[in-house]
Amino acid sequence: MPFLKTEPLGVLETLDELFALAHAMESEAAAKYAEFGAAMRAQGHDDLAAVFEGIAAEERGHVAHVDAWSEQRLGHEPNPAALRWLAPPTFEEEDAAEMSGSNLLTPYRVLTVATRNEERAFAFWSYVAANAARPEVRQAAETMAKEELGHVAAFRRERRKAFHAMRGETATPQARQAAADLELRLAKALDESPGGHFVELAAEARAMAVESRKFGLQAGGPKDGSAAALAEALVDAYLEGVDSSEDEDELHAFQQLAERAVRRLAALRSRPST
Q: pLDDT digits over 204-251, tens only?
A: 999 999 999 999 898 887 877 889 899 999 999 999 888 888 888 899
> In the Cβ-directed half-sphere of 82, how many Cα atoms lie within 13 Å?
19
Question: In sequence order, which residues have a C-beta less than 8 Å from that of residue 136 and are 6 or more positions away?
Answer: 15
pLDDT of 18 above 80: yes
Q: pLDDT digits over 87-99, tens only?
A: 788 777 777 777 7
At 231 the pLDDT is: 93
Nearest-CA neighbor of 144 among 125, 123, 157, 127? 125
**Distance between CA atoms of residues 108 and 202, nearest Å:** 30
What the chain holds in terms of domains, given with CATH numbers, is 15-167 (1.20.1260.10), 176-269 (no CATH)
**Distance between CA atoms of residues 228 and 193, nearest Å:** 11
pLDDT of 191 above 70: yes
